[in-house]
């Protein structure tokens, strides 16, 4: 049976409860139950593991702790002094319940360092692949039990092999170490950041939907790019970037293998589209990040040999746009869309894929698919400041 899992903040709270070694029994059990509900973590199993390195399911662990606390009170009454929780645990688990046969006394801080090293990648100080596999299974079970969403982010350093080959493996290790540090500092404390293998990383995002996962991934991607541009490594400037792929439970998969496959497919999509970007696996037909645009943005839609009618972009992506207009169009009609900008106009051929009639006070809308990707410089000029935080990627069926 594997050790119970929880985020570091939960473990710190539990360690604080046990710090004095003489917790009041009723208050301790009540607090463990409260934290279990608030943080959805197996708190009794975690405490039993902390004090005795014994792993049991949560319900059984709670019963053992209640018996242990009662045993401690009996010893206290017999001795006339409180021997403490850990001494009582050794006697109870060894001589009464016989769950331990030859317990080892180990300083708590030393035990914590030993356990941490067993689940940590020595180079990046992120969790290792072994821990990742257990943590992902646990998060999927927890999310299924409480009807929550969760996302998996797979990350891969772009063009790492040429850098590693050119400057050598020790330099490549420094690149990986910096990337790991940036990833760890860019995610939340409740997220589980791991080195998946080689130059690939993974982040488990509890209670996070696609939009939230994309926001986290973009923060990581931008921060990695910025740090490598601003800070050299051993006097060498290395412009390192990374690509990412996201899959979400339960929509994209209800087991770890399916989620990893979907996240890998989204990561591959990022690589094929030019790297240094994040894609999200999605089971619908739209395939690109859609950005809310600025209110001041303007465009026009022109048929062949006809002047362009004015339009107001509603949202925009590399692959298409949703435009508000007073003109009438037909599905499948070929048009040209012009976007104005500070550096000139961008003109792109497009096809009408959907027409929404006006619904006062809202104007009519048309969705268009571009014949070729819209330049990112155009998108940057039209996207609202909050666009990235609310953007989403939809990737078609394979």
Catalytic residue among 39, 66, 73, 199: 199
Q: Pick the closest to residue 49 from 131, 117, 115 (CA basis).
A: 115
Q: Measured between alpha carbons, how far is 224 from 187 in angstroms, rounded to an integer?
A: 12
Helix (H, G, I), strand (E, B) or coil at 153: strand
- Determine whether 199 is an active site residue: yes
DSSP character at residue 362? B
- Joined tokens for residue 129: 């692949």
Can you give the C-alpha Rg of the chain in angstroms?
A: 28
What dihedral do alpha carbons 21, 26, 28, 30 form, nearest 10°? 180
Q: Measured between alpha carbons, how far is 160 from 375 in angstroms, rounded to an integer?
A: 26
Cβ–Cβ contacts within 10 Å for residue 246, how many?
33
Q: Measured between alpha carbons, how far is 292 from 384 in angstroms, rounded to an integer?
A: 6
Q: Measured between alpha carbons, how far is 366 from 325 in angstroms, rounded to an integer?
A: 7
Strands 242-249 and 278-280: parallel
- Joined tokens for residue 54: 């014994």
Decide: 179 and 239 in contact? Cβ < 8 Å: no
- Type and span of the H or E element at 46: helix 43-52
Residue whose tokens read 């998108």: 379
Any residues with CB less than 8 A from the CB of 37 and at least 6 apart, and which?
none
What is the b/e burial string over 172-207, where b = at least 16 CB atoms within 10 angstroms of the residue's CB? bebbbebbbebbbebbeebbbbbbbeebbbbbbbbe
Q: Measured between alpha carbons, how far is 242 from 216 in angstroms, rounded to an integer?
A: 14
Point out the residues that are catalytic.
199
């Amino acid at each position: 049976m594997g050790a119970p899992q929880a985020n570091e903040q939960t473990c710190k709270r539990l360690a604080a409860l046990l710090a004095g070694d003489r917790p009041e029994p009723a208050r301790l059990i009540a607090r463990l139950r409260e934290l279990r509900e608030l943080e959805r973590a197996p708190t009794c199993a975690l405490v039993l593991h902390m004090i005795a390195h014994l792993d049991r399911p949560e319900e059984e662990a709670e019963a053992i702790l209640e018996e242990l606390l009662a045993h401690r009170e009996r010893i206290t009454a017999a001795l006339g002094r409180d021997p403490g929780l850990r001494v009582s645990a050794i006697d109870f688990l060894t001589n009464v319940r016989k769950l331990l046969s030859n317990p080892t006394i180990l300083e708590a801080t030393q035990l914590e360092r030993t356990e941490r090293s067993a689940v940590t990648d020595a180079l990046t100080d992120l969790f290792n692949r072994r821990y990742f596999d257990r943590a992902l299974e646990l998060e999927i079970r927890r999310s299924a039990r409480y009807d929550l969403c969760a996302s998996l982010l797979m990350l891969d350093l772009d063009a790492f092999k040429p850098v590693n080959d050119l400057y050598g493996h020790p330099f490549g290790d420094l690149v990986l170490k910096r990337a790991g540090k940036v990833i760890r500092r860019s995610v939340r404390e409740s997220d589980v950041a791991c080195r998946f293998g080689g130059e690939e990383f993974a982040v488990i995002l509890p209670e996070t939907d696609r939009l939230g996962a994309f926001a986290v991934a973009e923060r990581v991607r931008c921060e990695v790019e910025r740090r490598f541009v601003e800070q050299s490594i051993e006097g060498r400037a290395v412009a390192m970037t990374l690509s990412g792929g996201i899959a979400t439970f339960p929509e994209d998969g209800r087991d770890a293998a399916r989620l990893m496959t979907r996240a890998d497919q989204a990561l591959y999509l990022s690589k094929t589209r030019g790297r240094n970007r994040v894609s999200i696996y999605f089971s619908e037909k739209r395939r690109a990040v859609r950005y809310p645009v600025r209110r001041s943005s303007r465009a026009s839609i022109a048929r062949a040999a006809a002047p362009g009618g004015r339009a107001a972009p509603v949202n925009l992506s590399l692959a298409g746009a949703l435009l508000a207009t007073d003109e009438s169009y037909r599905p499948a009609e070929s048009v040209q869309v012009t976007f104005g900008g500070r550096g000139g106009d961008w003109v792109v051929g497009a096809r009408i894929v959907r027409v929404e009639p006006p619904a006062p006070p809202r104007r009519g809308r048309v969705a268009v698919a571009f014949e070729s990707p819209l330049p990112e410089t155009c998108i940057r000029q039209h996207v609202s400041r909050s666009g990235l935080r609310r953007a989403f990627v939809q990737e078609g069926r394979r």
